[in-house]
Amino acid sequence: MDVALQTIVRTPRTLKRTLTAYVSLTKPRVVELLLVITAPTMLLAERGIPSLWLILATLVGGALSAGSAGAFNCYLDRDIDRLMKRTKNRPLVTGELSDREALIFAWALGAASIVWLGLLTNWLAAALSFGAILLYVVFYTIILKRRTPQNIVWGGVAGCMPVLIGWAAVTGDLAWSPVILFMIVFLWTPPHYWPLSMKYRSDYQAAGVPMLAVVRGRAQVGLQVILYAWATVACSLLLIPIGEMGLLYTFVALVVGGWFIYETHRLYSLAIRHEHVSPMRVFHGSIAYLTLLFVAVGVDPLLPF
């Protein structure tokens, strides 16, 4: 069978495959990480355990919001996704879903997230959710991503919004503590994502996306990762006095922060010696760092010390 005929003959699309394709559009790993930082923030805002219904409603609304942003991103980036090995299996590249189906799905999820949060939490949380979608789709995907190596720095603001949404859902307003949590995630995003861009440098180069790893050498990227890691850990310590955090959070912030900084220094050391680097070690380590830190954020208010 020749190539032309192969492109015409396709396996029939089953319900399971269709549902899997729609889920893939939402970037579920990103959604999962965003929910990990939302729930602990709600516990800190309540200084205890909020209504389980409120937690569930906020997490569902947040998942819808993040899923909408992810689907819009897949739609807008479908041209460069076809050029990158890392994204070659996304449903708009494989043809599992049509462009129209993806766009309708993105709009539907976005509208549902705003209405859901507005009716079941409050309209401040809903407005912040709407802002998060706009920031990721317009500010990051459309404006920044293909124009500047600082794309992930400022575009990462969208990924910080879940802490504000979680706090607002509980309290109906904002305070300094969620601002510190926002800044932690903001400063964490570059040392999380830039190692990934080192791993897939050739992909981004082929697609014409000016990630820092494409326009700068490994040593320069490694240095920037170190600086942002230090800033992240320093910011996490600000939460101790401002958020009135206890011994558990203090211990976790110092220990996992020290480990995170060590891993970034190790990456830089290998890069400047022109040895084999393992950027994905820092990438996965950054996820572990943020997860452990936010677990401490949520558990600390429940303890008597």
pLDDT, tens digit (0-9, with 9 covering 90-100), for 76-91: 999 999 999 889 899 9
- H/E stretch holding 235 reads helix 218-242
CA distance 192 to 154: 14
CA distance 270 to 137: 35
Confidence bin at 6 (pLDDT 50/70/90): very low
CA distance 291 to 35: 10
CB-CB neighbours of 160 under 10 Å: 23
Residue 94, pLDDT above cutoff 60: yes
Confidence bin at 236 (pLDDT 50/70/90): very high
Give me the mean pLDDT over the 29-50 stretch: 94
Residue 216, pLDDT above cutoff 90: no
CA distance 110 to 15: 23
Closest C-alpha to 80, from 211, 212, 198, 221: 211
Q: Quick one: pLDDT at residue 305?
A: 84
Helix (H, G, I), strand (E, B) or coil at 301: helix
Closest C-alpha to 243, from 187, 208, 293: 293
Task: Tell me the whole-structure pTM to 2 decimals.
Answer: 0.92
Residue 304, pLDDT above cutoff 90: no
CA distance 160 to 190: 12
Q: Quick one: pLDDT at residue 157?
A: 94
CA distance 209 to 171: 40
Q: Quick one: pLDDT at residue 9?
A: 42
Q: Compute the half-sphere exposure of residue 157: CA atoms within 13 Å on the CB side of its CA.
A: 17
Confidence bin at 192 (pLDDT 50/70/90): very high
Residue 5, pLDDT above cutoff 80: no
Mean pLDDT of the chain: 92
Residue 153, pLDDT above cutoff 70: yes
For residues 201 and 64, is the Cβ–Cβ distance under 8 A? no
CA separation, residue 52 to residues 48, 58, 119, 254 (Å): 11, 10, 16, 30
Q: DSSP strand E in 164-261: where?
A: none
Give me the mean pLDDT over the 270-293 stretch: 90
pLDDT, tens digit (0-9, with 9 covering 90-100), for 102-120: 999 999 999 999 999 999 9
CA distance 181 to 34: 13
pLDDT over 70 percentage in the chain: 96
For residues 225 and 268, is the Cβ–Cβ distance under 8 A? yes
Q: Quick one: pLDDT at residue 12?
A: 66
CA distance 228 to 80: 28
Q: Quick one: pLDDT at residue 3?
A: 38
Confidence bin at 206 (pLDDT 50/70/90): confident
User: Token pair of 89, please?
Assistant: 């299996």
Q: Quick one: pLDDT at residue 66?
A: 95
- H/E stretch holding 283 reads helix 279-299
Give me the mean pLDDT over the 133-146 stretch: 94
